A and B are shown apart, each in its own frame.
Chain A
Amino acid sequence: MEMACSNIKTLPEDCVSTILSLTTPQDACRMLLVSRAVRPAAESDTVWDRFLPCDCWDIVARSDTPLKFSSKKELFFILSDSILIDGGNKAFALEKSSGLKSYILSARELSILYSNEQNSWSWKSIPNSRFAEVAELKTAGRLEIRGTIRTRILSPHTTYGAYLLIKISDRAFGLDSIPCETSIIASDRVLDTSTTYLRELDNKKQQLENLFYWNRMQMLKGRVNKGDEKLPSKKKDGWLEIELGEFLVSERDEVVTMSLVEIKGHQLKGGLIIQGIEVRPKY
C-alpha cells in the first residue's frame, strides 16, 4: 500500500489532471518534462479547460476570424497570442503563465474630445498598429481621452494597470509643456490619479526646448494637481505606453473609466498618435 501511494503512475490519469488543473498554465507545461507518462494528463482538456476563462466561448464567438483548434490547450495558446474581437475594435489576450485576461481598446472605442472634428483629429491607418485605425491629433487646445471597461469581463481578484498606447510624431508641438492628469474612476469613486508628461525620454530636441522654457514650464506645472509626473515607457513594438493608473477587480461588477486629460495649459498641441488603451494584469 505504501509503495503504491507514492508513485504517480498508480494515480489514475484523471487524478493527475485534477491536480494539474489546480496549478498554473506555466506549471502544467513544466510538468510535461517530467516523463512521457505524465504528458496525456498534462495536455488533457480537464486541465486546460480550467485555465480558460469561463466566458471564453463568448470571446471565441466574437473573434474577427474563426478560430481553429482541436483541444482546449490549443485554444489557450491561440488566445494567449492575442486575437481581435468586436469587429476589430478590441484585442483580447490571456497571459500565458497565469491565464489572466487582458484587453486593448482601440482608439475608435475611446471617447476622444473633438475626435470627429477634421481640424482637430485625423483617423488613419499606419503599419505596426494592432488596429485598422489610429487617431492623430492635428491641433487642439484641450486633450480629453477616456476609455471604459466593465470589471466583470476581467479576471477576478486581480490588480490591473491601464496604459495609453501612443506615438509622438516628429512634427509634435506643445505636448509636454504641462503635465497631463491621469485618473482611474469606478462608478463614483476615484481609484487612482497621477500626472504624466507626454514626451519621449532622451529626446535631445525636447531637452533643449525645456532649457529655454524652464520658467514657463514651472509656472504651468503649478496649475496641475500634484502627481508622480510619470514618463512614457518604450515598448518592444516601438509604441510608447503611459500608465493611467491601476485598480483591483473586486466582487462587484462596475464600470471603470480610465482617462488622460490636459485642460489647464490653454495652449495648442499636436502630433499625438493614439493606438488605444491596454488593460492588463499588473502583478
Chain B
Amino acid sequence: MSSPEEKTLILKSSDNEEFLVKESVAVQCITIKNLVEDGCDLDAIPLLNVDSKNLAWIIEFMEKYADSTSTDAEKKDFDTEFVKKPFNDVLGLILAANYLNFPALMDVMCDACANEMKLWSVEQVREKFHIQNDYTEEEEKAVRAENFWAFE
C-alpha cells in the first residue's frame, strides 16, 4: 500500500550490483536510516562491505519483516527456513547485519549461530571458525582445570 510519493532507494553492493528497495523497508538498517536522515543525496547508496549474495538475502529478510500483514508465527517460520544456510553464509550475514546495524537480522542470525555452537566440541568450533589454538599446553591445562565443571 505505497503512496505515490513513497521513496525508493538504490542500494549498491560491493560487487556493483544495484537493488531497488523502498525507503520504509531499508531504514530497518540503522546505518541506512542515518544516511537518509542526514540528507544523503547520492543516486545509489554504496554498501562497501556487503556483496550481492548477502544483500539479496538481507533485502528478502527486510521485506518480510517490514510486511505488516505477516504474523509472528509466519515470521518465525520464515526465520527457521532463512537460517538453513551453510555455516560460512550464516557468519557472512552476521558480519553484514553488524555493518548495516540491522538488529532484527542480527538477533536471528546470532541465535542460529549460538544454537549450532552449543552442539559442537571445542575442536569443532576451532574447525568451523578456522581458528588456531594459540594456547600453550600449560595454559590449556589451566583453563580446562579452572572450568572443569563445564566439561563434565
Chain A residues within 8 Å of B, Cβ to Cβ:
1-2, 4-12, 14-15, 18-20, 22-24, 26-27, 29-38, 96-97
Which B residues between 97 and 152 are near A, CB-CB below 8 angstroms?
A: 98, 106, 110-111, 113-115, 117-118, 122, 125-126, 129-135, 139-140, 143-144, 147, 149-151
- Whether the Cβ atoms of A33 and B91 lie closer than 8 Å is no
Known: A22-B114, A27-B118, A35-B135. 13 other contacts (CB 8 A): A5-B92, A8-B129, A8-B130, A19-B114, A26-B149, A29-B147, A29-B149, A30-B122, A31-B122, A32-B143, A34-B129, A37-B134, A38-B131
B114 partner residues in chain A, CB cutoff 8 A: 19-20, 22-23
Nearest CB of A to B81, in Å: 19
Contact of A5 among B95, B115, B132 (CB under 8 A): B95
Beta-carbon contact of A8 and B131 below 8 Å: yes
A35 touching B134 by the CB < 8 A rule? yes
The 3 A-B residue pairs with the shortest CB-CB distance in the complex, in nearest-first order: A22-B114, A8-B129, A29-B150
Q: How many residues of B sit at the interface, in one of the four size bands?
A: 35 or more
**Given the interface contacts A34-B126, A36-B135, does A11 sit within 8 Å of B150 by beta carbon?**
no
Q: What CA separation (Å) do A59 and B133 show in the bound complex? A: 39
Which chain A positions have C-beta within 8 A of B88?
Answer: 2, 5-6
Q: Are A1 and B14 in contact (CB under 8 A)?
A: yes
Q: Are A22 and B111 also in contact (CB < 8 A) when A11-B91, A15-B94, A30-B147 are?
A: yes
A12–B94 CA distance with the chains assembled, in angstroms: 10
Q: How far is the CA of A31 from the CA of B92 in the complex (A)?
A: 21
Kindly list chain A residues whose C-beta atoms are within 8 Å of the C-beta of B51. Answer: 1
Question: Which residue of B87, B94, B129, B150 contacts A30 across the interface (Cβ within 8 Å)?
Answer: B150
Q: Is the contact region of chain A dominated by helix, strand, or loop, or is it mixed?
A: helix
| B151, A30: Cβ atoms closer than 8 Å | yes
Chain B residues with CB below 8 A from A2, complex form: 88
CB within 8 A of A22: which of B95, B110, B132, B143? B110
| Docked pose: A18 CA to B94 CA in angstroms | 10
Nearest-neighbor residue (CB-CB) of B149 within chain A: A96
A-B contacts at CB below 8 angstroms, number: 95
Check A33/B117 contact, CB under 8 A, given A10-B95, A18-B110, A19-B110. Answer: no
Q: Which of B91, B94, B111, B133 contacts A34 (CB 8 A)?
A: B133
Q: How far is the CB of B83 from chain A (nearest CB, A)?
A: 13
- State in angstroms the CA–CA spacing of A47 and B6 once bound together: 40
- What are the residues of chain A within 8 A of B89 when measuring CB–CB? 5
**Chain B residues near A1 (CB-CB < 8 A):** 14, 51, 92
25 contacting pairs across A/B (C-beta < 8 A):
A1-B14, A5-B95, A6-B129, A7-B129, A8-B130, A11-B91, A15-B95, A18-B110, A19-B110, A22-B114, A23-B114, A23-B118, A26-B149, A29-B147, A30-B147, A30-B150, A32-B143, A32-B147, A33-B143, A33-B144, A33-B147, A34-B122, A36-B134, A36-B135, A38-B131
**Which residue on chain A has the smallest CB distance to residue B114?**
A22
Given A15-B94, A15-B98, A19-B94; A31-B117 close (CB under 8 Å) = yes
- Tell me whether A35 and B131 are in contact (CB under 8 A): yes
Question: Across the interface, which residues of A come within 8 angstroms of B106, CB to CB?
Answer: 18
Q: Tell me whether B117 and A19 are in contact (CB under 8 A).
A: yes
Q: Which of B9-45 contact A (CB under 8 A)?
A: 14
Residue of B nearest to A26 (CB): B150
Instruction: Report A-chain residues with C-beta under 8 Å of the C-beta of B111.
Output: 22
B38 to chain A, nearest CB (A): 23
Q: Are A6 and B110 in contact (CB under 8 A)?
A: no
List the B side residues contacting A6 at CB < 8 Å.
87-88, 91, 129-130
- Give the CA-CA distance A26 to B122 in the complex, in Å: 12
Residues of A within 8 A of B150 (CB): 26-27, 29-30, 97
Q: Is the CB of B131 within 8 A of A37?
A: yes
Q: Nearest-CB distance from A245 to chain B (Å)?
A: 29
Q: A20 to B129, alpha carbons, bound, how many Å?
A: 14
CB pair A11 B95 closer than 8 Å: yes
B135 proximity list for chain A (CB < 8 A): 33, 35-36
